[in-house]
Every structure is written in structure tokens, then in C-alpha cells.
Amino acid sequence: MPSLSQESRRGLTLLSPTLIYALVMLAAPLTMVVMFSFWTQDYLDLDKTFTFANYREAWTQPIFQVLMWRSLRISLVVTTVTVILAFPIAYYLSFHVKSRKALWLFLITVPFWTSYLLRVFLWKVILGYNGVLNSSLMELGIIEKPLTFILYNANAVVLTLAHAWAPFAILPIFVALEKIDRSLLEAAEDLGDGPLRRFFRITLPLAMPGVVASTLIVLIPTVGDYITPKLVGGTDGLMVANMIQIQFGKANNAPLGAALAVSSMVVVAAISVGIYFAGKKFGGKVK
Amino acid sequence: MMRSVGNFISSKWLVVYAVAYMLFLYAPVILLPLFAFNDATVVAFPLSGYTTKWFSLLWSTDALHGAVRNSAIVAMTTALISTLLGACAARSAANYSFPGKKGVMGFIMLPLVLPEIIVAVALLVMLMQLGMSLSLWTVIAGHVLICTPFSIAILSSAFAGMENSLEEASFDLGETRWGTFRRVTLPLIMPGVVSSLLITFTISLDEFIIAFFLTGTDVTLPVYIWSQLRFPSKLPSVMALGTILLIVSVVLLIIAEVFRQRAARRQGMDAGAKQGLV
């Protein structure tokens, strides 16, 4: 490429191993999934004639519709809960913790590094019929019969995912809050703005990029979560990833699985773009 | 300062909230060692007594040892390759500009937000099409893909904080490109490299979905744990195993954090280092 400067060429050469890896291991496989989703499979034979049949099935069959809606609903609730719970803690860290911020951040990430499988499993132990929560509540005399609405349903999935993704929500918000120029808040106070006004007109809009980043970082992966629905979701908490796995595994229908994967990716991508632009519109500048 | 920014929600309530939040975060983690040392075959309260038999049981489980060995191979290889790929990308992003940089970097960082099941399914489809058989190498390939963005994130700050004049001085004094890298650049970014190796090792050690889809007959540790979760009688020893894994991860993380802070300090960004762990 003669038009590129020497610097550009050097940068691209240095980047090329990583870029080639990503192209071979990410772009190529993703393209193949898309191709696969237009094919059909009869047990082990693959029919490569182009067809929309998989998408028709994925979008019209009630079971897939139910799973897709449930996945989206659960993910949106998880994201909202996680981000709303994360904001005050990030705010506390940024505005109230003077020293040892790094220690706090470290402590927040420690639970995240325990085996994800075991964390989800332990939530099952906590929430179960004879679980930690029920037995302690009964011991304290707060309830007489064990609560049953907390395990093997969507609530359990929401709680467990909100726990699993907490650090991912806290860190971007914390970074955005740290960047806020404190003199802006002092200026607003000098000009007579009360604490609420200062929060909603300065802190929150300026923290918006962090909030949007948190939202997307939690939302996108949770739609495709497999372990949590499988372990604590029961039959009412299963999500689209579980169905994708079934299609690739037991059902031996990889093309339908691929169509489900592509469909959920497209839907999530569309929602993410929406959130991104909404965040851009409502935040970022001091009004 | 306190008055100007602090009193939106009174500071006292925020402290209460922070403590409650930490309890929520640590709830499952605290239970892990409790049940690992509990002398009962069911994983439930009340605790019945202290025992270390679940730990000794781990020593005599051969299938587990194979899984540990596989995970160690996968995690070490993943850490090395993804740190190498991460270093190339981070250096390029930090020190060079070229057209389309933002888009290319965004694409490389994509696995950070892509649902893991999509990555797993996509790699599986490609391997099926190429007629390749599943092995530890296919697991490594997937792990490198998702670990590289983490490595880039860690190493970007290491490169961004580096003083370019040091490298220029080295060139001026007649050192070659490779010599400069080995004797100037590498020592400067070494703490970041160590931090990246440890973090990617830890991520790979814990990764389940990709390993679950791409593993052949040799299972990794999380896939082994998954298979054990189905048998209630195996659960106490799984808790013991989890406790060991927790300790290993936390030790690795503390070392990674120390190196990360050393990197920050070396670059004169003392603000971050001063608020350190100790």
C-alpha cells in the first residue's frame, strides 16, 4: 500500500498477528454461522441449498418466541437492576473513599474470580427450599414455610446474573465518575444549585458514558448466558442459549441453532445501538 | 469539598449501602470454605462438624488430576499466546496511528462483549466444516480469542505511560530495533506483561462455555466440575476443590495487582499507586 505513511505501515504490521487471529478465529467462524443458518441438516447430512426455513421456524415457533422474549426480558431486568445497584457503590468509591480506592476495587472484583459455575451453584444452595436463606428466615421466625418463589424461576436467574456481572457494571461507572471535574460541582454550588440539581444536571449527565458502557457490557453477554438458566432457572427460567445448545447437541440441528444464535445477536445488536444513541442524546454534556 | 459534593445522599447511608452490597457480593464466596470443611454429605445448613476429608478425597481422584493437568496446559498456553497477541495490538494502538484504527481495534475487542455461547458456537461450526477434531488445542484457540482483549486493555496502559524518548535515546546510541525492545521497552512494560499473563491465565482457568463446546475427550477443570455437579454425593469435594481454586485465583490476582501498580509507579503515575493495596 504505497499511499500509507511509514508510520501507518509499521502500526499495521505490528497489529497484523492479532488482527489475522481475530479474522481467522472470529470473523470467519461468525460468517460461517450465518451461512449455516441458511442451510438445513437431516441427521448428519448437510443440505447447502439456500433457505429461510430455519429463520421461519426460529421466529414463528411458539417455543422459540417464548425463549427469545424471556431472554430479552430477563437480560433487560438484570441490566437495569445491576446498573442501578452498581451506581451508588461506584459513586461512593469515587466521591467518598479518599484513600485505598484500589483496595475497594480489588475487593469488588475478588468474588468475580471464584469459579462462575460454583458461584451459580452456591446461589442454588442459598435460595433452595432448605437453603441458607429459607432456614435462616425460619430460624428468625420471619416466615413459617420456606419461600418457593426464589429458586428455579426467572427471579433466581435475575439475582444470580446481577451478582455475576456486578464488577462489570461498577468499573465503567466508577471510571466515568472519576473523570468528572470536581470544580464544576463547586461552581454549581456557588451558583446556588442544591444537591439534587447538581446530581441530575452535572454528575449524572457526565457519568452517562459510563452508565451506557455498563449497560451494554451487562446486557449483551447476559442474553446469551447458559450456565445460570440451566442451574437455577428451572423450566421457567431457561433462555435462548440453552435452546441453542440443545440444537447443536441433542437435537442435532446445527442450522436451526445457528439461526437462533444469529437472530438473538441481531436483536441484541439493534437494542444496543438504540441504548448507545439514547445515552449519547441524554448525557455527556452539562446543560 | 465534602460539603460540595457529598451531601446529595448523606455519606452515612452510602456507607451502609456499600457494606450491604459487599455482603451480597461475598455471600456465595463465604459459603464455599464453610461447606468445604463441613462434615456432612449434604451441602446445607446447619453445619455438622469440621473435617478435612473432602480435601484428602481430592488427592485420590484420578479424573480430577487429568482435568487439572489439562487446565494447566490450556491456561498457560492461552496466557502466553494472548499476551503476545495483546502486546502487538496494544503497542500498535498506543504508539501508531493508521487509517481505520478505531474500527479494527473495536473488532479485535469484540469478544469482550460478545456472548460466549456465540463465540463457542461459531468456532464449533467452523471446526465442523473444516472436519477438525476437538482437542485441547481447539479450547486454547477459543480461550486466546476471549483473553486477548483483556491483555490489550492491561498492556495499553503500560504502553501509553511509556516514555518514547527512552527508546529514541537507545536508537541514537546505536542500539538495534530488537536490542532496544529487549533492553529498553521490555523491562519498562514487564510489570504489565506479568499482570496480563496472570489475568489471562486466571480467565482461562475458569472459562466454561467455550471449553464445554470445544473440548474433546480431555476435559478442563470447569467442565469436570460441571460433570460433578449432577451427583449430590460429589458436592462436598467440589466445594473443597472450589476453595482451593478460590485461593489460587486470589493469590494470582494479588500478584497481578502488585505488578500492575508497580507498572503505574514506574511510569510516574503515582496517583494510582499511592492509593494501593497496602
ipTM confidence score: 0.84
Report which of B119, B167, B109 is spatially closest to residue B139, judged by C-alpha positions. Answer: B119
Residues with Cβ within 8 Å of B160's Cβ and at least 6 positions away in sequence, in order, are: B94
The residue behind cell 426467572 is A154
The residue behind cell 537507545 is B170
How close is the nearest chain B Cα to the Cα of A75, in Å? 12
| A to B CB pairs, distance under 8 Å | 260
> Hey, which of A221-230, B71-80, B107-116, B266-275 has the most confident mean pLDDT?
B71-80
Classify residue A196 by burial, with Cβ atoms within 10 Å: 0-12, 13-18, 19+: exposed
Cα–Cα separations (whole angstroms), residue B182 to B76, B145, B179, B267: 22, 26, 5, 18
Q: Do B17 and A89 touch (CB under 8 A)?
A: yes
pLDDT value of position B12? 82
Closest residue in B to A247 (Cα–Cα): B121
Interface with chain B: mutation pick from A5, A6, A8, A15, highest number of B CBs within 10 Å: A15
Does pLDDT of A28 surpass 90? yes
Q: Do B122 and A231 touch (CB under 8 A)?
A: no
Q: Do A32 and B95 touch (CB under 8 A)?
A: no
Amino acid at A67: L
pLDDT value of position B278? 32
Classify residue B187 by burial, with Cβ atoms within 10 Å: 0-12, 13-18, 19+: exposed
pLDDT band at B267 (very low <50, low <70, confident <90, very high): low
User: What's the whole-number average pLDDT of chain B?
Assistant: 84
- Mean local confidence (pLDDT), B18-42: 87
> Hey, which of A224-228, B157-161, B267-271 has the most confident mean pLDDT?
A224-228
Q: End-to-end distance of chain B based on CA atoms, in angstroms?
A: 26
Option in B31, B89, B99 nearest A8 (CB) = B99
CB atoms within 10 A of CB B186: 12
Residue B270 grid cell: 503515582
pLDDT band at B62 (very low <50, low <70, confident <90, very high): confident
Option in B24, B25, B44 nearest A125 (CB) = B44
Option in A32, A123, A227 nearest B122 (CB) = A32
pLDDT value of position B84? 95
pLDDT band at B1 (very low <50, low <70, confident <90, very high): very low
pLDDT band at B276 (very low <50, low <70, confident <90, very high): very low
Cα–Cα separations (whole angstroms), residue A194 to A160, A183, A201, B87, B90: 37, 15, 10, 47, 44
> Hey, which of A21-30, A117-126, B121-130, B212-221 has the most confident mean pLDDT?
A21-30
CA distance A154 to A82: 15
CA gyration radius for chain A? 23
Interface with chain A: mutation pick from B1, B77, B126, B132, highest number of A CBs within 10 Å: B126
How close is the nearest chain B Cα to the Cα of A12, in Å? 7
pLDDT band at A284 (very low <50, low <70, confident <90, very high): low
Residues with Cβ within 8 Å of B243's Cβ and at least 6 positions away in sequence, in order, are: B32, B33, B36
Does pLDDT of A91 surpass 90? yes
Option in B1, B88, B123 nearest A14 (CB) = B88
Q: Do B209 and A33 touch (CB under 8 A)?
A: no
Residues with Cβ within 8 Å of B200's Cβ and at least 6 positions away in sequence, in order, are: B78, B79, B82, B83, B86, B147, B150, B151
CA distance B36 to B30: 11
Residue A138 grid cell: 425460619
CA distance B258 to B269: 14
> Hey, which of A68-72, A282-286, B42-46 has the most confident mean pLDDT?
A68-72
C-alpha B186, offset from chain centre: 22
pLDDT band at B10 (very low <50, low <70, confident <90, very high): low
Closest residue in B to A162 (Cα–Cα): B25
- Mean pLDDT is lowest, of A131-135, B79-83, B220-224, for A131-135
Amino acid at A128: G
Q: Which long-range contacts (CB under 8 A, 24 or more apart) does B223-226 make?
A: B223/B67, B224/B63, B224/B64, B224/B67, B225/A115, B225/A117, B225/A118, B226/A117
- Mean pLDDT is lowest, of A98-102, B1-5, B71-75, for B1-5
Residues in chain A: 287
Residues with Cβ within 8 Å of A2's Cβ and at least 6 positions away in sequence, in order, are: none
